[in-house]
A = this chain, B = another copy of it.
Amino acid sequence: MNTTVRVARNGVDVPTLFATLDAVKANPELAQFQFRAHNRWVSGTHSRSSIQGFYGAMQEDTTRTTPFVYDADHPQVLTGQGNAPTPVEFLLHAIAACLTAGLGNIASARGVTLHEVESTVEGDIDLNGILGTAPAERNGYTGIRVSFRISGDADEQTLRELIEQSTRRSAVFDVLSNGTSVDVAVDVA
C-alpha cells in the first residue's frame, strides 16, 4: 500500500506533477512538444534571440505573453564586443538548469526537502578547430564537467541518487552527450 503523502514541496506542486504523469500515461500525445527561438543579427558577432511560443500538450502555449530576450556575442579577445556571453556559454547554463530543474521535481516526488543546490559547469574548448588553424581539432567542447553541491533532509546516498536520476532523465544532458540531428536551411532574401 502506497502511503506516501503527496504534497507541495521544494516549490513543486507534487499532486499536479503526478497528475501530469497520469495524464500523459493516458494520452502520450500530450508529451509531444516543439520549442522555438527567433534570432536576429545585430552587428559583428552580436545577435539577439527571442523565445516565446511553444507547442505542447496538444496546443500552442498562451501563457507567455511577452518574449524572453537574450543576446550573445564574442568577447573582445575573440573579435567581438563582449555585449553578452558567447553562444557556447549558454550550453553550460542549459545543462546546469536542466539537471537542477529535474532535481527539483525528483526530490519533491521522492519526499526529499532540498536546502541548497549549486552547480559549477566548465567546458574546455580548443578554438584551433573553429579558427581553422588546426582543422583536425573538433569545433566544440572537448568535455563539459558539472559539479553539484547539494544539501537536503536526506542521507548522502539518497541525495546523490536524486542527481543520478535527474541526469538519466535530462533532455539537455542527452543532447549534449549524444547529439541530435541539426538541419540548417537558408533562404536568400
Contact = CB atoms under 8 A, between A and B. Distances in A.
- Residue of A142, A160, A174 with highest tally of chain B CB at under 10 A: A174
Query: Secondary structure of the A side of the interface?
Result: mixed
A181 B31 CA distance: 28
A141 B171 contact: yes
A101 B70 CA distance: 14
Interface string A99-110: 111111100100
Contacts of A51: 85, 89, 92-93
| Most chain B CB within a 10 A radius of its CB, from A21, A32, A86 | A86
Contact of A43 (B41, B104, B126, B177): B104
Sorting the interface of chain A by its residue count into under 10, 10 to 19, 20 to 34 or 35 or more gives: 35 or more
Interface string A61-92: 10110001010111111111110111111111
A77 to B, nearest CB: 5
B104 A36 contact: no
Interface of A: 10-13, 16-17, 20-21, 24-25, 28, 31-47, 49, 51, 54, 56-57, 61, 63-64, 68, 70, 72-82, 84-105, 108, 114-134, 138-151, 156, 159-160, 163, 167, 169-189
Given A11-B46, A45-B101, 14 more contacts: A13-B79, A20-B131, A34-B124, A43-B104, A46-B101, A72-B98, A87-B95, A91-B91, A95-B182, A102-B130, A143-B180, A159-B188, A176-B176, A177-B179
